[in-house]
């Protein structure tokens, strides 16, 4: 079991920025895939961004060019820098760690973007 704790969610105006953090209790392995997913009210949870141990990244089309995912293995932390936020980015943002085919999830941090 890997405990993940997200932070950084807030209420922000459209066009603003936020930086989310996810701290893992325990060591992040270089083979772990870290990611952020979000769930808007009434919608399914969707992938926002993911990063491998070697730094390869993958983004949802809707956030490309606005969001940046990064990880600091020494600090057992993954980040999501979100710029030029839009109202449709509103949702509960979950941190995910995938290890040997098993997913671990945090409890989420809320992001609300007002127009």
Residue 107 β-bridge partners? none
**pLDDT (0 to 100) of residue 20:** 98
Decide: 8 and 19 in contact? Cβ < 8 Å: yes
**pLDDT (0 to 100) of residue 84:** 98
Decide: 91 and 80 in contact? Cβ < 8 Å: no
- Ordered alpha helix ranges (H), the chain: none
Tokens of 41: 């009210």
pLDDT single digits (tens) 21-79 = 999 998 889 999 999 999 998 999 999 999 999 999 999 999 999 999 999 989 999 99
Contacts of 83 (CB under 8 A, 6+ apart): 17, 66, 67, 68
Task: Flag whether pLDDT at 1 surpasses 90.
Answer: no
């Amino acid at each position: 079991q890997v405990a993940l704790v997200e932070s950084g969610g807030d209420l922000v105006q459209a066009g603003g920025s936020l930086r989310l953090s996810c701290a893992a209790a325990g060591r992040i392995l270089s083979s772990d895939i870290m990611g952020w997913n979000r769930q808007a009210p009434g919608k399914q949870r969707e992938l926002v961004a993911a990063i491998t141990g070697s730094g390869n990244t993958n983004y949802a089309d809707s956030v490309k060019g606005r969001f940046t995912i990064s990880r600091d293995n020494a600090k057992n932390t993954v980040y999501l820098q979100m710029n030029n936020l839009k109202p449709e980015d509103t949702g509960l943002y979950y941190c995910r760690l995938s290890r040997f085919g098993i997913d671990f999830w945090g409890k989420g941090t809320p992001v609300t973007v007002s127009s």
